[in-house]
Structure 1
Amino acid sequence: MTRSQPRRRVSNAYSALNLRLALATFGLVTMTVFAVVAFWAHVAWLGVLCAVLAVVAVVDLIVIQRRRAARHREEPGVRHSLFE
Structure 2
Amino acid sequence: MPFVTSRRDSIQYDGTNGAEIAGTWCTGISFVSDSGTVLTFKDRDDRVQTASVNDWLIISGVEDGNPTVLSTADYETYFVEIPPMPS
TM-score when scaled to structure 1? 0.28
**More helix per residue:** 1
**Higher Rg:** 1
More strand by percentage: 2
